[in-house]
Chains A and B, each alone.
Chain A
Amino acid sequence: MLTIHQLNKRFDHLQAVKDFNLVMQPGEFVTLLGPSGSGKTTVLRMVAGLESPTSGSIHLGDVDVTHLTPQKRNIGLVFQSYALFPNMSAYENIAFPLHVRKQDKHTIQKRVNELLALIGLTNRKDHLPHQLSGGERQRVALARALSFHPPLLLLDEPLSALDAKVRQSLRITLKEIQRTLGVTTLMVTHDQEEALELSDRIVVMAKGAVEQVGTAMDIYYAPQTAFTEGFIGETNPITAEVLDVIASPIGEKIYNLRWHHHVFSWLADRHIEPQGTSITIGIRPESFHFLPVGGHGSIEATIVDKLFFGSVTRFIVKLPDHTTVKVDAMSAISQQYPIGAKVGLLITDPRLPIGFVDEAVTMTANPS
């Protein structure tokens, strides 16, 4: 659907985008995620035709659009600042691209009313942009970008100017609309939660280059570079002893590891190789679990601090060797674990079936 090959962009002495490659499938929702200045917007603008690449190519289907004007690309773009025309009502804004395409009155009316219903703004259609709230404006901008049935929709931080509550509900709206219409979507964001929630695939960018491409699960649980690992969520780096490597039912490598006498299984990350008999991996705070002290195969640990985050509570837990790890648990159970309490600590890989530990290894590791 969209094929971006070796795309580069230089601004004077600044390499804003470096060797960017991406192939998108029809109907796919892909997100460019990265810190400020990582070149996300620049990629999007080059796809839209608002910026011309220094080198590389962009294909839409079989058509090479690299040097086409934005008018000829027929791509929908939603700006962070909405960019609604201030002198046109919501209705007129949405109808505008259809007027440009010289569609007949009846078709335009039907399409615009359909979209107004889809975004739930039928009763606001005659309002000017400044008479609409931020969320309403963004929905109008979305409808305008979709009204002419573009094969590709580009979104530049579409929700970042909105407050948390509106952002949450608009995320759902956005995903629903995208699914309903099946439009291929490329979104830019620096909000990792948004990216993880909405995307089929995520492209993590740093300093103009792609760090990693993968599903939300891949990116979250198997970050392939130190940058991705540090950028998305929190991790506890741990060094464990490799007991065994086995093949999973679908052919992936699974390590059986031992850490502080605790034996657990971990799906192999392509880039992390054991060094000798040990391996360093990043464990998400919510991949740890508490058991009663002395619980089967667990590590004896002490809770030294608790931070209430709302639905989850973060525990700072001290291990026998006096190092600490961060552990997240549902706040509903946090009452059972006061500061100073002793607990049993376990690690489970959320990508593996519950309780997946190779029995033979468990036996050899715990010869009790």
Chain B
Amino acid sequence: MRLGRLLFLPIFAFLLIFAIIPAFGVLSSSLTGTHGLSFTFYRQTFSQQYYNAFWTTTWLSLTSSVLAAIWGFVIAFALVRTSMTVLQRIITALSSTMANFAGLPLAVAFMATLGTSGILTLFLQQYLHVDIVAMGFNLAAFSGLFVAYLSFLTPLAVILMLPAVSSLHQEWEEAMYTLGASFFLYLRKVAVPVLLPSMIGTLGLLFANAFSTYVTSYELAGSSINLVPILIGYMVNGNVSMNLGLGDALSMEEMIVLGVSISFYFFAQRKSLLHAREGRSANAT
């Protein structure tokens, strides 16, 4: 037992060196003004520009992760129920790959397909006479980032939902049918309620992932959209607007957002009925 705990030491050391110590560094420098302890930087973050940035980032992350979670659920549900095992394996493998396909390569891929002179944009224009640019689609703006975020959030959602969806018992569905209920009633009364905790948990992780996306959004949109990670990037990377203290304060605020959304995940996991143990009696708990 004791020895077992010792095995976690390397992980704790890793966390300490690469997460906890840097976080404290950020915290202390965000609180250090010219004359010691100061909340100046935090006061600065409560201005209209940063308020807008938080609002845009939240809205972009929320809409894209909600849609990704819904899509992910539908795909995972279909995957579990199909009898085509080859397709099942291909899509699962593809999802793991695509969930990690972000950053510069993803941005380049998107520019090549959906940019103003991207293949797909031109194809739609010439052959289907659909001008997505004229319709307001812009890779360097909200709409473009939304689509780009979906491309890695959806496969991530599939991977996150798959274990929960595959632990739905087939008997629940069959019992529903013998009791007179339809497939949709099964979805509404059993499948969705039972999966709700893992959906919320997944949503928390997707939101955190979207909120902290930096390279992809920076490469696609740069300064043309007001996102928290991009602003932080400007302040700590030493361009025009280098301001370490302010960047640290914004980072701390972002960490709070991430912490809250990830805690949704942990809270939801504990609420899940899927992992309620079988064979436990009421008074034995």
**Interface residue ranges, A against B (CB under 8 Å):** 48-50, 69-71, 73-77, 79, 81, 83, 85-88, 96-97, 100-101, 124, 127-128, 130-134, 136, 144-145, 148
Contact = CB atoms under 8 A, between A and B. Distances in A.
Nearest to B281: A133
B174 interface: yes
- Counting from the closest, the 7 A-B pairs by CB-CB distance are A83-B171, A130-B276, A97-B179, A133-B281, A83-B175, A70-B177, A131-B282
A245 B26 CA distance: 103
A206 to B, nearest CB: 26
Interface residues of B, number: 26
Contacts of A86: 172, 190, 194, 273-274, 276
A79 B175 contact: yes
B189 interface: yes
Contact of A71 (B171, B177, B189, B190): B177
Contacts of A81: 169, 171
Contact of A83 (B172, B181, B185): B172
A50 B178 contact: yes
Contacts of B177: 49-50, 69-71
Given A50-B174, A69-B177, A132 B190 contact: no
Nearest to B192: A87
Nearest to B282: A131
A275 B285 CA distance: 66
A329 to B, nearest CB: 38
Contacts of B174: 50, 70, 77, 79, 83
The residue in B177, B185, B194 that gathers the most chain A C-beta atoms within 10 A of its C-beta is B177
B176 to A, nearest CB: 8
Nearest to B278: A130
Given A81-B169, A85-B190, 5 more contacts: A48-B178, A71-B182, A79-B171, A86-B194, A86-B274
18 contacts: A50-B178, A70-B177, A71-B180, A75-B178, A77-B175, A77-B178, A81-B169, A83-B171, A83-B172, A86-B194, A100-B181, A124-B282, A127-B282, A130-B277, A130-B278, A133-B279, A133-B281, A145-B178
Contacts of A74: 180
Interface of B: 169, 171-172, 174-175, 177-182, 185, 189-190, 193-194, 273-274, 276-282, 285
B180 A133 contact: no
Contacts of A71: 177-178, 180-182
Given A76-B178, A81-B171, A83-B169, A100 B282 contact: no
A290 B194 CA distance: 62
A96 B179 contact: yes
B181 A130 contact: no
Contacts of B193: 87
A75 B190 CA distance: 21
Contacts of B180: 71, 74, 97, 100-101, 148
Given A74-B180, A86-B194, A86-B273, A132 B281 contact: yes
Contacts of A97: 179-181
Contacts of A132: 281-282
A124 B273 CA distance: 19
Contact of A131 (B179, B274, B285): B285
B278 A49 contact: no
A195 B171 CA distance: 24
Contacts of A69: 177
A85 B190 CA distance: 7
A68 B159 CA distance: 37
Contacts of A87: 190, 193-194, 273
Given A124-B282, A130-B278, A85 B178 contact: no
Contacts of A133: 279, 281-282
Contacts of A100: 179-181, 185
A128 B171 contact: no
Contacts of B276: 86, 128, 130
A230 B277 CA distance: 39
A169 B282 CA distance: 19
A49 B178 contact: yes
Contacts of B171: 79, 81, 83
B9 to A, nearest CB: 36
A188 to B, nearest CB: 15
A96 B281 CA distance: 23
Contact of A85 (B172, B277, B280, B282): B172
Nearest to A86: B273
Contacts of B194: 86-87
Nearest to A87: B193
Nearest to A154: B178
B271 to A, nearest CB: 11
A297 B27 CA distance: 103
Contacts of A85: 172, 175, 189-190
B188 to A, nearest CB: 11
A124 B279 CA distance: 16
Contacts of A76: 178
A184 to B, nearest CB: 16
A127 B174 CA distance: 23
Given A85-B172, A87-B194, A131 B178 contact: no
A85 B189 CA distance: 9
Nearest to A92: B189
Residue from the set B180, B194, B281 with the largest chain A CB neighbour count within 10 Å: B180
A241 to B, nearest CB: 56
Nearest to A124: B282
Contacts of A88: 189
Nearest to A80: B171
A115 B273 CA distance: 26
Nearest to A127: B282
A332 B142 CA distance: 88
Contacts of A73: 178
Contacts of A134: 279
A189 B43 CA distance: 73
